[in-house]
Structure 1
Amino acid sequence: MQNSPDSTQNFIPRRVFITGTGMISPMGTDSAGHVASLRAGENHFREIDFFDVSKQRVKTAGVADLADDFEHFMLSEREARGLDRGTRLLLHATAQAMNSAKLDNVSPETGFIVGTSAGAMPVGEEYYKIAARDGERRGQFRRVENYQAQRQAGAVQRALGFRAQTLIISNACASGANAIGHAYHQIRSGRKSLALAGGYDALCQLVFAGFDALQALAESGIPRPFDAARDGLALGEGAAMFVLESEESMLDRGAVPLVEICGYGMATDLHHLTQPHPEGNAAVRSMTGACRQAGMEPREIDYINSHGTGTPLNDVAEANAITEWAGEDAKQISVSSTKSAMGHLLGGAGAIESAICLLALKNQLLPASLNIREADPACRFDLVREPREAALNVALTNSFGFGGSNASLIFRNAS
């Protein structure tokens, strides 16, 4: 079996920095908007008005403010009109990240690594509706072609005028975190010096109806992660993208580091298709692996942005995992779930929550788990129920997905 990079005798890992970030979610359309929302401790749920929810138990979600007159850069008016909602979110975040990093020139060797769960599902919905209604064939080939996630990535690259090595990761709700982690490994190992990475997903009828049919959504429309009486999640939409660079690349470009990525762990839970192991065994392994790669102990983690969906089984499993992983040190670690404010962004969740870790570190701010009335007894850590200032140096984010995908990323203030 081939050795991993960390086990090769001559392997010297490179430090990996984030030099640019872009984001859009129900909490805001840029970093400043997200910080303002985090400081205010605001909920962002409203009734869905761009597809039919009249037959659903739940009718609200976290909806991003996506303007109709969006900037389409180098795309023609016709091409721009053909973009689905998810591609527009991804374009917004990618353009913002490149601008943040002052990245004008993207070489063909640059990695473009994107995580998504639903992809261009609205395009698939349109294909199905037309085929089921009257068998009309006009435009159907275009819909099949644009249903593929790599077409969305290609549209973003055409819009922004670059061509990069594209990799799509679709690993359920861990997709965005896995994309960032994969880019981190590519740079850390010396395979690449710069990469664009992140995740996205847009709200759509089929996915929303599916979660509603599973009765996974909170009937009130308001999720309460880590509350003793939590009753389900809320869905949301958004995208976050990052420019990741080696230290050498960053210095050569004169770029300014925002944070350092210093650890990535992943593990698979084979317990159940949709339910985590009650003790969070795979979550323990992913957090342990991230710490091992970062050369850190759990007590050095100041803040955890948890997966924290608000479902009865997920939250207690993650709470148990944090306690098992950190032991007595868990009491000193601050934990919150920002899904409580904007919903679960599926393939975009790990990316947005990574961006929130970055904002927490840069602004010395602990985001809150909102809507809690009585904390679950399994929470044997500092559950942050109101936003507050704190001295933060290291943050960890967890992302867990259907099928047992578990991913953890560690970020540290750049120094």
Structure 2
Amino acid sequence: MSTSSISHGHSFQALAGRSLGFWALLGFFLLFVAIGGLSSLYMETNGHWVTGMNNQVPWGLPHACAVFLLVASTGALNIASLGSVFSKDDYRPLGRLSALSAMAVQAGGLFILLLDLGRADRLIVAMTNYNFTSIFCLNIVLYNGFFAIVTTYLYMMMEPRLEPFYRPVAFSAFVWRLAVTTGTGSIFGLMVSRMAFHSAIMAPMFIALSLSFGLAMFLVILAFLQVGARRPAPSAQLQHRMLVLLAVFVAVSLYMVAVHHVTSFYSAERRDFERYILGGDGLYPVLMWVGFGLVGSVLPLLILLVPFKAVGTQARLFVSSIGVIAGGLCLMYTIIVGGESFPIDLFPGKVVSSTFFDGVVGTYTPSTPELFLSLGGFALVGLILVVGLWVLELLPSRRESR
């Protein structure tokens, strides 16, 4: 049997971890993490040419997946924040799982990011030599701080004697998660050399996206626990609240993305890019309109808001969450890869011609090592969750879920 503990008036359990399925799942995640690491080593030793990336598109599929996970990680803390910062007691039994999910998702994103950038052996240099005029340097501090604060937050949840400090730490974690997402969005928003990225709305847009991406990731994790670990589902009332919450977050995310593109049309320098990304003949308009717009926004909203008597709330939450995640990956790919592929206007008003692809739309096709590295990051999320839930008492007991 799994062990149990009582904290803040709620009882919790750890995963038993003795079934064959548990060890098979653990081995599955370990295998894909190892494949991801070996794929990175292959790219590191053979050089940039074995990837689909080039001088025009230096960030590819792994970066899109990494940024998606980094954005989703702060949103995965939504449930914990609702229970502590906003005093919604129904969410408190899921607070521990929410905190672990946030750290696991961010670790998966950083795994991809660090290995995709290359020279991971020089990470210590970046962590000991700071240049705060660079947003990349600031993000190192923000990501490290996120792990420190959320770890402290989780410890406060598990230690009843620290009840007086629980609320202040929870509030600090909430504010810090906003700062982390602001920093991630500012990577692109402050990049003045790329007209596709440079925009003040990037940071608030990423905060809105983190709410929907993170909650969707958490709901999928919760669904897999219900099926794989045979954990009881949350109460019908809590499921309905999360359904409405996800619908609101998806609507806000769609609105912010729409505002970003509409306002860009009022800037003459960005108008050509908007026509390219939204109305061109290539892949990116399809990813925007069908991937993010239809699959990631409109369909989830219909599933969440239109009552289907034949389909239960759990199924609606799961299907809509999968759609939000798929749409989010499409959006990140469009923002990052699509934004890089559009030619840079080095000298506005002048025609620039050379043998170095000036004025030419960049091409990019993801390679197999890039795909496996990306999958390795998602596998690391699963690995951390499985081990964390096995070692620590983070799951609400069965009576808490009723």
Same fold (TM over 0.5): no
Could you say which structure has the higher helix fraction? 2
Could you say which structure has the higher strand fraction? 1
TM-score if structure 2 supplies the norm length?
A: 0.28
Of structures 1 and 2, the one with the larger relative CO (CA 8 A, separation 6+) is 2
TM-score if structure 1 supplies the norm length?
A: 0.28
Larger radius of gyration: 2
